[in-house]
Amino acid sequence: MSERALVLGGGGASGNAWLIGVIAGLFDAGLDVTQADLIIGTSAGSTAAAQISSATQPPELLANILAAPQPRTGAVGPDRGPVPIGPAANHMEITSRIIGAAEDAADMRRRMGAAALEVDAASHRSAQTQWRATVAARLPNQLWPQRRILIPAVDAHTGEPVVFDRHSGVDLVDAVAASTSNGFGVPPYSIGGRRYINGGYRRNENVDLAAGYARVLVLSPFGGRSLHPLHWGTHLAAQADELRARGSRVETIFPDSDSQNALGGGMKVMDLSRRRPSAQAGYNQGRALADQLTEFWR
């Protein structure tokens, strides 16, 4: 078995900030999880994965969030930054309707991709350019690190999951842009003639990609919750059980009460004004958890 895997789930603008806060808190308390042998990042977690695997240390990433001007409350893209095209206010409504009509997870992904492609229109090219620039501005380094990083997305044309890494022939910026596209507020992202939507449509945290690793640490801004029916097996708990059955030790970090209040729920996680309090709450939580996680991680 390989050693340590770090899994970073999606969670919008505030979720990204919370992830960085937790990792910085652990780091300052003496536990550096950025040195994992594998990092899996989905949606907002893909940005965090790219950030923490750069040469920029977690405390500096956190400081950048805390020092950023506090914006007004408002909708933003699925990671952070303004929605580059059309309002995403009905995103949850569309998603819930599609999930309710789907027979299984594969059918849901196909329906989600088709709906996203239908919503997208003539503005795609300008939106693509804008979204790529937005994502690129977030990354301290736009080159894939030598360390193994996996970034899931879903092919909008077929509903098939894809997993990008440094051997995929895809720029890191494009992989993150694809994984952070929710398909509606941010349209399907084009790479090599194919269009992609959010990696969270594959599985919420994509913990199953850590199969074969002895220790798996999962940070889930949504606390392992999912809109999917339980029998689909896409919930974090089901994925963790699969890994444990194969011999992995799995630990999860969910937002505590202070972090939950800072993050908000539903579309509130897209609110830029929640980034600073989410990062600070995550930092406090990370520092508090470091001692109990040290034996597991080291």
pLDDT for 16 beyond 80:
yes
pLDDT in tens, 243-257: 999 999 999 999 999
As a whole number of angstroms, the distance between CA 17 and CA 278 comes to 6
Torsion of CA 49, 53, 57, 62, to 10 degrees: -10
The whole-number pLDDT of residue 268 equals 79
Of the two residues 124 and 24, the one the predictor is more confident about is 24
Tens-digit pLDDT profile for residues 200-221: 999 889 999 999 999 999 999 9
Helix ranges (DSSP H) in the chain: 12-28, 44-52, 58-67, 91-101, 105-119, 124-138, 172-179, 236-245, 257-263, 275-297
Dist CA 28 CA 21 (whole Å): 10
Strand pairing class (2-8; 38-41)? parallel
Contact of 11 with 48, CB cutoff 8 Å: no
Q: Which of 267, 263, 293 is nearest to 279 (CA)?
A: 263
Q: pLDDT tens across 155-171, in order?
A: 999 999 999 999 999 99
Find the angle CA(73)-CA(22)-CA(145) to the nearest 5 degrees: 100
pLDDT band at 75 (very low <50, low <70, confident <90, very high): very low
pLDDT digits (tens, 9 = 90+) for 35-65: 999 999 999 999 999 999 999 999 999 999 9
What mean pLDDT, rounded, does the chain reach? 90
pLDDT at 112: 93
pLDDT of residue 195: 95
The string of pLDDT tens digits covering residues 138-159 is: 999 999 999 899 999 999 999 9
What tokens does 23 get?
């990792």
Strands 213-219 and 2-8: parallel
Whole-number pLDDT of residue 123: 53
For residue 237, count other CB atoms closer than 10 A to its CB.
13
The SS3 assignment for 288 reads helix
pTM of the model: 0.91
